[in-house]
A and B are shown apart, each in its own frame.
Chain A
């Protein structure tokens, strides 16, 4: 970014993440990753399976502490959990004992908002994710896509300045993913939060993001590429894929990503044989 006046929402500087594994060995998941997400910018991280994309996201969320390097949120060093961030998890993270509307309202409830008002706003958010009629359903009565919508509303009702998303649409079928992608873009367009979106699907990344960041295969994964996506907004996920620019960019990024995917694949089969 040339414009230095704009505040940087998330700034990872040389962040290294390591885990202690069996036998007191140290496994370095991510090595010296530097990444910045400007205010209002939509950044997608793409990398082969097991490269530490989610690890990087957890660092930005404050759920993990980097072994070295720094994390800054709006210029302030991050200590503890990132209170400015909303996190949409890959796995089901709704509270199964709460109805859809209570799941959405919980973010306001725990802040001490009046119940009436919390429910009213939760109903509003459920309507904006297209689930206005499903307020009293429990999560197990909803489909996978509907649960993701509730999850999105649950995160957005708190109006976080930063949105962290960990392969949120991973478990969904192809059509639902496109619909969810468009819904996400539509909601994001309303107030343009900073978004850090992790996926293994390069097409999804290009279609959604302003910038695509590529990670190498793990262990010791690094950031090996950073592309701007010049496609105009607002976009329609299914239509943007037909454009020439999309294909050119896809070919360019894929030429770099392909080698890493093959490396990642070789590593995962190798470690499966060893372990």
Chain B
């Protein structure tokens, strides 16, 4: 399939889905409207809500807050995950001692931590950042841990025979290997940072996309709920594109076929 035909069919899916949605919510079929507009709204209302948000400029404040929370959660969670993952992988005894606790915390559904974070850190951005960090940290942590553990023995021996000290091995062998695994989990980690931010906002906040959706839901403004969802999806797609760009630059050394790892 050529690029153009592919694009055509991709657009067709959107057109068909939106048309169906529009017809089922506005045109009576067999004497009645199949999807009650109160619960399903309709594409025109949703679109006009989005336009209104952007033309009045209210949305920017919420977008910036959510973006800021996601970025903070991602950066703090990644740095923590890399450092702890690296430390554990190089110190098997430490890893063995903490192993059951790591598993325990990771098994916990993170949403239940949200009320605690709100109590501790208030309704501002930091409770959302904390929630995002708990999600991002474990993804990065496990990947980096794996990355350091699975460094090829031959490459290590080669480094030693070339005269590397333990510190140089860390810098030239363990570290690049760990980072490559971290980058392979980048998309997932960024996604989880956004999830943490939005869920946190949804559960209690004064600003952000999650807050916007939660407020609309509170007054049964279904059009605004859908509008919030669409803005959120576009937001995540944009971030994902940025991540792809960063990844292409940083992982040039990796064969394309190996990209699915992680």
Contact = CB atoms under 8 A, between A and B. Distances in A.
Contacts of B159: 95
B254 interface: yes
Nearest to A99: B253
B172 interface: yes
A154 B162 contact: yes
Interface in B162-199: 162-165, 168, 172-173, 176-177, 180
A158 B163 contact: yes
B154 interface: yes
Q: Chain A at the B interface: mostly helix, strand, loop or mixed?
A: loop
A140 B253 contact: yes
A96 B254 contact: yes
B162 to A, nearest CB: 5
21 contacts: A63-B161, A81-B160, A83-B163, A87-B157, A91-B152, A91-B154, A92-B154, A93-B152, A93-B154, A93-B158, A95-B159, A95-B172, A96-B254, A97-B176, A97-B254, A99-B253, A110-B164, A110-B172, A138-B254, A140-B254, A154-B162
Interface string B220-262: 0000000000000000000000000000000011110000000
B155 interface: yes
A111 interface: yes
A85 interface: yes
Given A63-B160, A83-B163, A106 B154 contact: no
B176 A63 contact: no
Given A106-B172, A110-B168, A98 B253 contact: yes
Nearest to A160: B161
A89 interface: yes
Interface in B47-68: none
A111 B162 CA distance: 10
A240 to B, nearest CB: 30
Contacts of B173: 95
Q: Chain B at the A interface: mostly helix, strand, loop or mixed?
A: helix
Contacts of B162: 106-107, 110, 154-155, 158
B253 A97 contact: yes
Interface string B3-27: 0000000000000000000000000
A205 B148 CA distance: 38
Given A93-B155, A96-B253, A140-B254, A81 B161 contact: yes
Interface string A88-115: 0101111111110000001100110000
A91 B173 CA distance: 16
Interface in A145-189: 154-155, 158
A227 B61 CA distance: 83
Interface of B: 152, 154-155, 157-165, 168, 172-173, 176-177, 180, 252-255
A122 interface: no
A86 interface: yes
A89 B162 CA distance: 12
Nearest to A157: B162
A140 B252 CA distance: 10
Given A93-B154, A107-B163, A110-B165, 5 more contacts: A89-B158, A91-B154, A93-B158, A97-B254, A99-B253
Nearest to B175: A97
Contacts of B176: 95, 97
A254 to B, nearest CB: 31
Contacts of A81: 160-161
Given A96-B254, A98-B253, A140-B254, A86 B161 contact: yes
A111 B154 contact: no
Contacts of A140: 253-255
Contact of B163 (A91, A96, A99, A111): A111
Contact of B154 (A89, A154, A155): A89
A209 interface: no
A95 B155 contact: yes
Nearest to A93: B158
Nearest to B250: A97
Nearest to A107: B162
5 tightest Cβ-Cβ pairs between the two chains A and B: A93-B158, A140-B255, A138-B253, A87-B161, A97-B176
A198 interface: no
A206 B168 CA distance: 39
A95 to B, nearest CB: 6
A98 B164 CA distance: 15
A89 B176 CA distance: 21
Contacts of B157: 63, 87, 89, 93
A61 interface: yes
Contacts of B177: 97
Contacts of B161: 61, 63, 81, 85-87
Interface in A188-246: none
A110 B253 CA distance: 21
A86 B162 CA distance: 7
